[in-house]
Amino acid sequence: MSAHGTPIPMTSHKCGPLSGEAHVPGDKSISHRSLILGAMTVGETRVTGLLEGQDVLDTAKAMQAFGAEIEKKDGTWHIHGVGVGGFAEPENVIDCGNSGTGVRLIMGAMATCPITATFTGDASLNGRPMARVTDPLALFGAKSYGRAGGRLPMTIVGAADPLPVRYATPVPSAQVKSAVLLAGLNTPGETVVIEREATRDHSERMLAGFGATITSENSDEGRVITLQGRPEFTPQDIIVPRDPSSAAFPVCAALITEGSDVLVPNIGLNPTRAGLFFTLQDMGADLTFENMREEGGEPVADLRARFSPDMKGIEVPAERAASMIDEYPVLSAVAAFASGKTHMPGVKELRVKESDRIDAMAVGLRAAGITVDEGEDWWTVHGRGFGDVPGGVTVQSHLDHRIAMSFLVMGMATENPMRVDDGQPIATSFPIFETLMGDLGAKITRA
C-alpha cells in the first residue's frame, strides 16, 4: 500500500517515435528555496514557474504554519514573509510528505529561532536519516528528539542564543550544506561551510540574490562558503527555470525510442546540476544545447534529444556524481540500451534517497534481462544494445518517484512492456509526467 493512497500500477509499452516539445515543470530545488527564503523576507516575494508538485506544496504549507502568508493568483505565487528570525511556532505537526529536501531545509531555517516544531512525513521519508542535518544544527544550539537512528517523526527545539558554526560536510550533500547556511541566517557573526566536493549551489546564488553577504572560495580544505548572519533580505521577483531532473525523463526517452526527436525548452543548466547531459553526450547521445542564455542568474538552454542507437557504455567520472545524483536511476535505464559497460562510482548517496536507489534499479534491471554489478558506492550496468532489452516484468517503485519514472521510460523501448507497482509517487515532483509523455507519443496505461 502506498503511503500516498491506493497504489496506481502503471505500464509502459513500446511505442513509435516521440516528437514535439516537452514543457517540464519548474525546478524543484529552486522552488523549495523560493518559498523558504521568501518566508524569511519582510515584504512580498513573487514567484512564477513554481513547481506545483506535492513536495513543493508541502513546503508552502509548512511556511504558512511558521507564519508566512502565501497565495497563488493568476499563475503567480505571492509570499509575504516574516523576516529572518521571525518564524512563529507552528500549532500542529509539520508534514513534509515525501520530501527530504523540504524537511531538511526547513529544519535548518527554524533551528536558530527560539521555537519548537515537530516534523513527520510519509513512510519513505520517515525511514530516511536526519542526523546528517541535526548533528550540525546541534552545533548552533538546537536540540532534536526523534526515533532511533535519527529518523522522523522528530521534534526540533530551536536555539534561543545561536552560536556561529564552522562545519565541514562529511558527505557531498546540498541539503546538509543548505540547512547549515539557512540556520546561519539568524546567527550572529560568520557561518562557514566547507565541502570537499562541490554540490548544487542554488542556495548560495539565491541567498546572494535576496541580499545576504555570502562568499565562496576554493582552498586546500575544499570549497569554503562564508555567510554573514542576520542580513536584511530584499523581496524578489523569481522566475523558476524548468527542472533539469524532470527534463531527464523526456530526454532519455527520446534517446532510446526509435525515430524520436524531442525539444525540451528552458532547462536550467547550472553546472552543479547538469552532469547527466554531459554524461549522455560522452556516451554518444545525439543531445544538443540550443539558445544558450542566462535567466535569473542561472544558465538556461533548450535541449534537443534525438534517437541514439549507437551509444556506448562509459566510466562515469566519480567527481560528476554530485551534479547528477538524482539522475542515476534513469541513466541506468539508458545504459541498458548502450553497448558495453557503464560504470558509476562514487554514488553511495543513492543508498539513502527516497529508496535505496542502487538496489531498487539493480533488482528491476536484472528482472528485465540486464546484468548489473553493485557495491556499496558503485554499480555497473552491462548494456545489451538497442533492440535487445527484453523487459516484460513488474517492478517495485518503493514509493520513489524517480524509480517509477525510470522504469516507465525504459518500457518505451523494451521488447515487452514494463510495469511499476505504484506510479502515484510521481506526483511529488512531476505531476504532469503521464500527460506530457503521452503528448509526445508514449503509451503509458494505468493497470
Place of cell 527554524: 110
Distances (CA, A) of 110 to 8, 35, 95: 36, 14, 15
Helical segments of 16-130, H only: 28-39, 54-65, 100-110
Establish how many alpha carbons lie within 13 A of residue 170's alpha carbon, considering only the half-sphere containing its beta carbon.
6
User: How far is residue 162's CA from residue 439's CA, in Å, rounded to a whole number?
Assistant: 52
DSSP-based three-state secondary structure for 120: strand
Strand order in the sheet with 378-384: 339-345, 378-384, 371-374
Q: How far apart are the first and last CA of the chain?
A: 15
Distances (CA, A) of 13 to 107, 309, 411, 415: 42, 19, 6, 9
User: How far is residue 274's CA from residue 214's CA, in Å, rounded to a whole number?
Assistant: 23
- Maximum Cα–Cα distance for the chain, whole Å? 63
Total residue length of the chain: 447
Is 63 within 8 Å of 36 (Cβ atoms)? yes
Strand partners, 222: 219
Is 276 within 8 Å of 334 (Cβ atoms)? no
Dihedral of alpha carbons 296, 321, 249, 263, sign? positive
Active-site choice (286, 326, 400, 422): 326
User: How far is residue 152's CA from residue 148's CA, in Å, rounded to a whole number?
Assistant: 9
In the residue annotation, 326 being an active-site residue is answered as yes
Question: Side chain identity at 192, as an amino acid letter?
Answer: V
Please identify every residue annotated as catalytic.
326
